[in-house]
Structure 1
């Protein structure tokens, strides 16, 4: 990570652009009154500014996190690499970004159709379009084309950041859960069998390293998780409110259902993939409960019994008392029950 780099400069420009749009959106609320469409702009650009800043902070920590992740993979390389993980990542990324592209396209096609239908003034369709999309900007600044295109670019990057936040959480969760799955595959193969004390010592150490990796990841993205859920929940409620109003043309109807379905889809995907970390981390308990009595000293010497029992109990205590889970700033933990609450 280097502060003097194009990527950092680009991020700072995006933060400045988002903050400028927040200020103009607040001024629009003050001058023309509070309605949901205007509040949406404040929430949208406000969330984007926080996301930009947070990812800049994550970038500072990323080399340390990457090194720790590499150390875990090297220490567990005897398990191999998670099967088809790269394919899964590519498929999920394609689905999320394609859905975001369609949603963004439908929204602007709908506005372009509205602009083309406007009559009774001398404004061009393009000017009508830009003054509608960036109403907060041209409420305080006279319309000009270069500024309109610059703000359109800022709008696209803000839209991407919103979708990328969910995608980022999904892919990190998928990768962590995949490491736990490799450990669990090893445990499945010995379920109900007698094992030497070195085996349980190794399993405990590997489980602990994955637990520590999860906590490190969570410390980096816990605010990002909170932002993701807060933003998605706001727009789900916003879309539910919009459903009470009559829909206009076909394009508007398609956009509404696609947008509503897509934000629900992303929220569910984030919840399920993040919750899968906790699910996979709990599997070892099932194996420990199925340990034969021989492993507890029925047919072995007392010192051997003590060593095995110590490692097994320590592992079981860690699994049952240590929450291996992603959180939203510790306000909530992402488990499967979160979807129902």
Structure 2
């Protein structure tokens, strides 16, 4: 009865949490999958003709409009002949002002602009959250096996039972490989994006700013990005941590209980690395946290060394949009 309760708790984590994560994503038009809360997993599927798909399409059109306006914003720098040291500083320093230059300022335009901007921010953060939830589901499956193996510690177990454990372990490994094939590109992009923005925010933090609020913003955002990246790597690496835990239990099995199936399972765990990866360029284990930290320090030293004078936020000359300087 004890193990049944544990298994039910594990199934709840592995199934219910991903469903709730999908529901959260659908608020912002992501992953328009139908019947996500159905008890029958076979009912969860994508339907082209559905309210969710229409809702996602509206968000997509809104996002394209927002991106087009962002591109239009860059033309101001050419017209006004501003000397831009960093396009990132330029874009972030005039947040949403370009939209109200083309649209009247009222409740509708403000709600649309702010909600679309918030949706972009949500998607940026949701990628890491999605990877963490997928990793948590797989690691929970391995944890369920480990909880069952704890009852075998130091005991002689029949060969047939070890064969059953090995088959269950292989099913989870196949699930991990399948998920890795599906979201490997997403993991690669997420890790590169996190690495880039952490380096950029640390560089911004080390740069003097005209206002204290800028310094506070970059400090808080840097801490948040580092924490999010660390948490994503830590939770994703838990798959590898849980997959090798059975080896510690195998070492307690007496020699008389060492069977053929147990030997096969032990060899499999020792020779095959089970973890999610970024298109097999790298695997997410605890060691990658140290590697990312070392990479950030290396790139940061290079960026600080070669970072020259640049235009800071709020330092652009006023312009009427026709090339005429209005500062005088």
- Say whether the 8 Å CA contact 2:103–2:109 is kept in structure 1: no
Spell out the pairing of 1:186-197 with structure 2 (5 A cutoff): 186-197=148-159
Spell out the pairing of 1:22-37 with structure 2 (5 A cutoff): 22-29=67-74, 32=77, 35-36=85-86
2:62 to 8, 11, 17: 17
Q: CA RMSD in A?
A: 2.7
Counterpart residue number, 1:320: 270
What's the TM-score once normalised by structure 1's chain length?
0.62
Counterpart residue number, 2:124: 162
1:236 to 173, 198, 201: 198
Structure 1 residues 331 and 23, CA gap change in structure 2 (3 angstroms): farther
Structure with greater helix percent? 1
Query: Runs of 5+ in structure 2 lacking a partner?
Result: 1-45, 79-83, 292-328
Secondary structure of the residue aligned to 2:175 is helix
What's the TM-score once normalised by structure 2's chain length?
0.65
C-alpha displacement of 1:281: 0.2
Counterpart residue number, 2:227: 265
Inter-partner Cα distance in structure 1 for 2:85 and 2:267: 53
- Say whether the 8 Å CA contact 1:29–1:38 is kept in structure 2: no
Inter-partner Cα distance in structure 2 for 1:260 and 1:336: 22
Measured against aligned partners, the alpha-carbon deviations of 1:233-271 in whole angstroms (never above 9, x if no partner) come to 221111111112224545434322221111111100000
Counterpart residue number, 2:112: 150
C-alpha displacement of 1:203: 0.9
Moved over 6 A (4+): none
C-alpha displacement of 1:295: 2.4
C-alpha displacement of 1:288: 2.6
- Say whether the 8 Å CA contact 1:225–1:328 is kept in structure 2: yes
Inter-partner Cα distance in structure 2 for 1:39 and 1:275: 34
- Say whether the 8 Å CA contact 1:29–1:39 is kept in structure 2: no
Spell out the pairing of 1:256-295 with structure 2 (5 A cutoff): 256-295=218-257
C-alpha displacement of 1:312: 1.9
Inter-partner Cα distance in structure 1 for 2:185 and 2:139: 20
Measured against aligned partners, the alpha-carbon deviations of 1:83-108 in whole angstroms (never above 9, x if no partner) come to xxxxxxxxxxxxxxxxxxxxxxxx9x
Counterpart residue number, 1:335: 285
Counterpart residue number, 2:298: none
- Say whether the 8 Å CA contact 2:66–2:116 is kept in structure 1: no
Counterpart residue number, 2:184: 222
Query: Runs of 5+ in structure 1 lacking a partner?
Result: 42-106, 112-131, 297-307
